[in-house]
Amino acid sequence: MTFKIRLLKEPTGTSQQKGARTVRGRVMFYEKPEVKAQRLEYVTELKKFAPDEPIKGPVSIRVVFVYPERKSKKMKESLEWKTTVPDLDNLLKLLLDAMSDCSFWEDDSQISMLETKKILAKGQTDFQMVISVNGIPEGASSLFEENWGVFHWEGGTT
């Protein structure tokens, strides 16, 4: 299943931004309010696309984070790589956590294949995510060959 999510504003919080406080001599970590708000916005949008039943078995995900063109930077191409913050891995973590909250899968350890991009789009006025999530069928070893070449594990070489 492939779907597109538009958010009211670009994500600013990431799941890496944890707060810490000391309670009775122990350090306790918590999700900061801006991260909690961002996660809630993700969950609200993702619930519209969540499957009736969680995906069982291995899962394949493709995500493209599409940012609007910056007024301060004139784009030469219609699409360009976004090489500024937020970091792609942190953006992805918050999204995958929200997808877990919406029961797209039974456990996020099922994610076996992941492709993600962060781009700027000329003429784009809002932030959006294009997400494709699918179960990987049993016996789909051809996916290794399609995406990575044939693996040969003899003598430790690939």
Residue 132 falls inside a structural domain? yes
pLDDT at 138: 82
CATH code where residue 39 lies: 3.30.1330.70
**Residue indicated by tokens 């942190």:** 90
Q: Which domain holds residue 131?
A: 2-16+31-137
- For every residue of 24-65, DSSP letters joined together read TTEEEEEE-HHHHHHHHHHHHHHTTT--SS-B-S-EEEEEEE
133, burial (CB in 10 Å: exposed 0-12, middle 13-18, buried 19+) = buried
pLDDT at 143: 62
Residue 158 falls inside a structural domain? no
pLDDT at 113: 92
Characterize 32-67 residue by residue with b for buried, 16 or more Cβ atoms within 10 angstroms of its Cβ, and e for exposed: eeebeebbebbbebbeebbeeebbeebbbbebbbbb
Residue 25 falls inside a structural domain? no
pLDDT averages per 10-residue partition of the chain, 158 residues:
80 68 83 86 93 94 92 88 90 92 95 94 91 87 58 52
pLDDT at 156: 53
Domains identified in the chain, total number: 1
Residue 156 falls inside a structural domain? no
Full-prediction pTM beyond 0.85? no
Residue 39 falls inside a structural domain? yes
Residue 54 falls inside a structural domain? yes
Residue 24 falls inside a structural domain? no
